[in-house]
């Protein structure tokens, strides 16, 4: 029998350890949580994408009475970024979330599987790594590329 070990490097940083551009992106993701429309889950998620030219695009989760019609903050943000600035790679995506008590999560917010899949395609589309910053008030996870969040991933190359 053979085995496969998958190694993932995640750095855990305090807000003060981030450089000014990453702090600005985290601030934007945190602010975006206040524009969440989440009357059903009361879970407010914000995301902020830093594009190759430095532009920041933000989004938040948008829910609907027909629950599956809603969309997560990450996909709202990436789809808007890609539709508004299709020629700009996404360099870094920051994500933050507040619970139903309105408090930012202490632990880094883990993106859902569907969002990881969309992040993966954003990365392959521009053929460059997208960093991900997962905000938690106790620490921020820095993931260097989407493949680290989604090992053994499915993409178009798997169909060949």
Angle at which helices 113-126 and 73-84 pack, to 10 degrees? 20
Of 26, 32, 73, 118, the residue at the interface with ligand THU (CB under 6 A) is 73
Least distance between ligand THU and beta carbon 68 (Å): 10
Selected range binding ligand THU among 15-23, 27-35, 69-77, 148-156, rule: CB under 6 A:
69-77
Of residues 106 through 135, those in contact with ligand THU by CB under 6 A are: 111-112, 115
Using the 8-state DSSP alphabet, how is residue 109 labeled?
P
User: Residue 38 interacts with ligand THU (CB under 6 A)?
Assistant: yes
List residues bridging with 51 in a β-sheet: 90
Q: How far apart are CA 5 and CA 156, in angstroms?
A: 24
Q: Would you count residue 12 as binding ligand THU (CB under 6 A)? A: no
Residue span binding ligand THU (CB under 6 A) among the ranges 6-14, 17-25, 68-76, 119-127: 68-76
Contact present, 56 and 48 (Cβ < 8 Å): yes
Euclidean distance between CA atoms 139 and 148, whole angstroms: 18
Out of 28, 32, 58, 72, the residue judged to bind ligand THU by CB under 6 A: 72
Contact between 123 and 146 under an 8 Å Cβ cutoff? The reply is yes
Which residues lie near ligand THU (CB under 6 A)? 38, 41, 43, 45, 61, 63, 70, 72-74, 111-112, 115
């Amino acid at each position: 029998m053979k085995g496969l070990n998958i190694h993932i490097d995640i750095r855990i940083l305090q807000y003060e350890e981030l450089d000014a551009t990453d702090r600005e992106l985290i601030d934007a993701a945190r602010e975006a949580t206040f524009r969440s429309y989440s009357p059903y889950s009361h879970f407010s998620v914000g995301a902020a994408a830093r594009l190759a030219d430095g532009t920041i695009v933000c989004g938040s989760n948008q829910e609907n009475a027909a629950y599956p019609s809603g969309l997560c903050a990450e996909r709202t943000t990436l789809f808007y970024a890609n539709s508004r600035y299709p020629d700009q790679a996404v360099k870094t995506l920051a994500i933050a979330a507040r619970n139903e008590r309105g408090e930012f999560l202490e632990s880094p917010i883990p993106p859902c599987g569907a969002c990881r899949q969309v992040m993966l395609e954003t990365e392959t589309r521009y053929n460059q790594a997208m960093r991900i910053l997962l905000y938690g008030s106790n620490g921020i996870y820095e993931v260097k590329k989407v493949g680290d969040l989604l090992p053994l991933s499915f993409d178009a190359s798997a169909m060949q």
